Amino acid sequence: MKNYDNKNEFIEGVKNSLPIVIGYFSVSFTFGIMAAKAGLSSGLATLISVTNLTSAGQFAGLTLITAQASYIEVFLTQLIINLRYGLMSLSLSQKLHPSVTTGKRLLIAFANTDEIFAVSVSRPKKVTTAYMVGLELFPIIGWSLGTFAGAVTTSLLPPFVQSALGVALYGMFIAIVLPPARSHKPIAFVALMAAVLSVIFTYAPGLQRISAGFVIIITTVLSASLGALLWPIPDTKEGDS
């Protein structure tokens, strides 16, 4: 079994995490703004970020909290939105160095976000514990500090500036969806279908009484399922590259 220099592995992980840290700070800053506008204290907003580390899940959770959704709605919404992390962790486990114990795997899985997963699995060699600690540590700090900064800054700003900053959330989502939607028809369809379903649930008589939490669950499952049915991923035959 090849031995690794933990110090060098950690430093390499830190270097690879820097672009992620910058992106996380800006996105979590927006979450801090939204949390403060929803009435959450800066400490509570930061605690959410420290213990969750999921942008889509946190924004959806914040919506449910402000809508006073039930625990089952929050649970099902978070399960559906964050289910991909379980699949990512299973995939990443095949890349881990044999020296990574079960306890260390659990710690790594805690911060195995989309970006961290992408960087770690694209590494040309096995992933060690020291490397993953370096890769995950500062993104966690950046995500948490960004939330705190957004919440504190918003509380010090006049109301009209707070409202203007709140628009950044929608701009962020548009910036995330539009580039891949322009080149991938399935993504554009799923995003459009989710928007259409959301409008229907908002204005259709009878459907308006469905709570915000279940609306998110239904629109997510239906739009993603339709996309999967219309554009299924073909099975890779044995021997195909």
Sequential pLDDT tens for the chain (241 residues):
456 788 999 999 999 999 889 888 888 888 898 898 888 999 999 999 999 888 888 988 898 888 888 888 888 888 888 888 888 888 889 899 999 999 999 999 999 988 898 889 888 889 999 999 999 999 999 999 999 999 998 877 777 766 666 666 566 567 657 777 788 888 889 889 988 998 998 888 888 778 776 787 788 888 888 988 888 866 545 444 4
- Predicted local distance difference test score (pLDDT) of residue 3: 62
- DSSP bridge partners of 96: 127
Backbone angles phi, psi at 74, to 5 degrees: -65, -45
Where do the domains of the chain lie? 6-168, 184-232
- Predicted local distance difference test score (pLDDT) of residue 241: 40
Nearest alpha-carbon partner for 195 in 231, 168, 170: 170
State the alpha helices, DSSP H only, in 53-112: 55-66, 71-93, 102-110
- Predicted local distance difference test score (pLDDT) of residue 37: 84
Question: For 38, which DSSP code?
Answer: T
Tokens, residue 149 = 């900064």
Cα(111)–Cα(48) distance, rounded to whole angstroms?
A: 14
Helix-helix angle 6-37:159-183, to 10 degrees: 120
- Predicted local distance difference test score (pLDDT) of residue 84: 81
What amino acid is encoded at 54 in this protein? T
- DSSP bridge partners of 127: 96
CA Rg value for the chain:
20
Cα(120)–Cα(115) distance, rounded to whole angstroms?
A: 9
- Predicted local distance difference test score (pLDDT) of residue 50: 94
Task: Yes or no: say if 207 and 197 are a contact pair by the CB < 8 Å rule.
Answer: no
- Global pTM reads 0.71
Name the one residue in this structure whose structure tokens are 């548009």.
Answer: 174
Cα(224)–Cα(221) distance, rounded to whole angstroms?
A: 5
Cα(31)–Cα(144) distance, rounded to whole angstroms?
A: 10
Query: Which residues does 123 contact at the CB level (< 8 Å), separation at least 6?
Result: 95, 131
Tell me the pLDDT tens digit for each residue of 112-122: 988 898 889 88
- Residue 185 burial (CB count, 10 A): 12
Cα(233)–Cα(196) distance, rounded to whole angstroms?
A: 24
